[in-house]
Structure 1
């Protein structure tokens, strides 16, 4: 039996139901793609029509489609291999046919686009998927073709990827919008129906249009008449989205309902308390906000006890306080739409992760140069480097550090505390590169000098070369060298202890910052 979700998938954007604003935004993105050339993320709960809208858009625009599931192709290499080529291709406007025409062989080719649809783009998670997130971010930044990313959980995607794309949110489809779709399918399938039966299916699916169509097909199989009592499908086990839940606990539900709703949210109490804590001030104020924070404080105490004792039965008390307690703190009805966002705690973690990455990079460079462990470089050397080169003063020492450890502007700024884009840091990085190049030539000895003539050809008539040195004396292993060695043996060392100490000191000065450690 044909799957009705595929059979009745919208063929144009005008047939997409329940998300008119998102549909119009998607069309505008496509029509202006040549101007901005950005990818777009379609995000929202499962079953609200994101993938169907992407295919309908391609049909409206006359674009070819390539679809890839990110959860099946999770590594960077796989994504580059399967999606990279298609996304990087530019649309062709002329093709060279090798001179078959009088105009030099060029004829107009049909202009076109290929839409790359990357489904489940939120199911790729950094290092665990061996470069998958990095590959997708690179793909959307460099793509020469339109790219649509499909995601259920917008904030499960990396911040870099989110910032590189436009975003369109698909909201849950209301039962009022689902019923006409079910009615249209029944009419096309020749099924007589009671309106109450279709409304019951729509209500049971909590805004999941795809689930409603699947349920309709299940209950209508083998019958030509559909009554309300025929609708025996249970409530669909559907996870509640975090933003929908925040609306429920902060604005709508009583204490008991808020607690029960938390059972359908795919968040642990440790994460859920951060979501509620950061967003409750957007709707609560005064005494109700104070009461809400008192309950959140109690919840945090129970979470601390859970972590200390590893007794996860205490989670129930934390959940009671952060859900039922917050809902019970509401003094008056809350209406309208509120822009909820992820916890600021998470963004702080992201920033600290970036700082740790910079620290570890510099520590690794120092460890390699000084023959120390990374831990020693991080604990015992970096603090001194930072103190000695604060704000790039003294400049000579900062320059020596940058050259020795081959640091770029980002890491010089990290060590010194100066701004990465300042002229001071940029000039130090450029001079350090020149310094490294000069030192490479100096340390090479005579490797880059022209070879000298051993037989005196081209030299003076008296048999000496241009430097005035006797050719025989310059020849390795000749009598002149033997004579010099013999004289040195007879007269003792040519260099005094004082001269050796002076040369050793000069050598130390050439070693950069080693003597500071």
Structure 2
């Protein structure tokens, strides 16, 4: 089944409903771009048509589009490499004098999600990009004031307001007619009232209410009514404990989160409910969702989100053997983008200790550490990890999901400190007394650079690579040091 929000996404600005003033301001910005060459921030609540308006604008202007997501491209080097390159690009159309004047509209979604130490330098890099851009840039944000002041000052601002029920009804009426669905006017009025402000939610509700028949009544809306206030925690209960695969998919569309974010929520909390074969099947479904999300990132074809949602919600629910009872303390994904100082410090420590990027530490290494030391089990491995990274109680609590003030965490940190002190004392003698033992000055330097315990008699680095060449699996080698 095709998602109606994608199927009926406006292809021209004139079809964007409910924000005429903002729509006209966006068109004026684009038409005068050669004169001012400023980026623009389009901000407002979810579901009011910000991203749709940006794509419709590009269609009207004859511009190509490049869409990036700030929650994926967050650090300074990545933003400058991707957004910077796109903002400087000259298209083939421009080289041949096409109708679009060679322009390429760069659309950066979730621009208000660049903050905190996770994104060190990201906001500054994005500010530099928008100031130096040779192509028009539209930044999409939910909360304008979550963006840095420097970035706000570098851009024009256009606010998209909530779409009134009066503006939503004509959109719903048009979709019904194009789908061949008869409807009662009161049914459309009810959907519009329930979703006052959120056009996208109203279209989703219409599709849910009308999918079982060709005539839409008020009773259909009453039974198919979508709870806009459904929080992510009730969603987790629905998927992991209660609902069928089909019901879980419908619940996924009732949460105002992207499939990418929902996948993180489910992956973080599935082990708290599932175990054994159930958990293995659930992770198979999440892996399938991740493959579809990878296609979205590679192709910018957001229609694939539907298949990711089917897998993360329906697939995970189908992995369950019956319903689950009781209450579960669900938690946000441990590596959720945030400005939390402990999370930032843990990511940086792991990245520096392993010699890889912050992105690799956050997305690949930390989930691995968390899975191995969940709730500090096994204890010896958790102590080894804490010693290896010199973690304090806050960091151990963050990685393992255990309470920071518990005796368990305190004991692990104490043992880790003792282990580090013991290892430092043990290795401190590795470099002493060599001259007295007959090693000459030339060999002394070599002994200092490579202790005997790490010498490789085969002339390679122990991983099948000649000395001096980098390992392809450098990060895993670092992890093996404490395992």
**TM-score range with shorter-chain normalisation?**
0.3 to 0.5
Calculate the TM-score normalised by the size of structure 1. 0.43
